Amino acid sequence: MDPLTNPTPRPVAIGYVSSPDPAALDAQRDAVTDHARAEGYALAHILADRLDGYTISQVVETARLHKARLVIVPAGATLATAHAHLAHELEPCGAVCVVIDDAPAARDGPDPTHAPATAAAEPATATSRLTDALGRHVRPHTPRHAASTGQPS
């Protein structure tokens, strides 16, 4: 769309990408940019997290500052696993979160081995908790515990 021929402002989106690998970051940036363009959003900013720890509150603050209506998160990004919590935190700003496929095949044409390029984040249900999206840390059983419970150590 040409802003001169179509003066209607497009809704604003921001993106969040994360990876220690520069090539993976570039692929995620491309996927976010392609998704914003395909959906008709003006991409205001992409937060690039090289795994030094962007928090959900920083993403929400960036969305608020840019008055974004959409936060685009590739499936391979760190915060993709916490999309339900991110979506919940974005609600007061009027923004939503979508998790997209970050595979480059989505840009090069249809690939029958990949799912569609976009998948909307599921809203949190009454029984879901933030910790449901986190991995569980299980300590190995000690010989003493195994002896007392009858379980193998």
Domains defined along the chain, listed by start: 12-124 (3.40.50)
Q: Count the neighbouring beta carbons within 10 Å of the beta carbon of residue 34.
A: 17
Predicted confidence at residue 107, as pLDDT, reads 43
Indicate yes or no: pTM above 0.75: no
Residue pLDDT tens, the chain, 153 long: 555 566 678 999 999 999 999 999 999 999 999 999 999 999 999 999 887 667 899 999 999 999 999 999 999 998 999 999 999 999 999 999 999 997 654 444 443 333 333 334 433 333 444 444 444 444 455 666 566 666 665
Contact 13, 38 (CB under 8 A): no
Angle at 14 (CA atoms; ends 13, 18), nearest 5 degrees: 150
pLDDT at 67: 95
Quote the CA–CA distance of 124 and 5 in Å, as a whole number.
40
CA pseudo-torsion sign 97, 133, 119, 115: positive
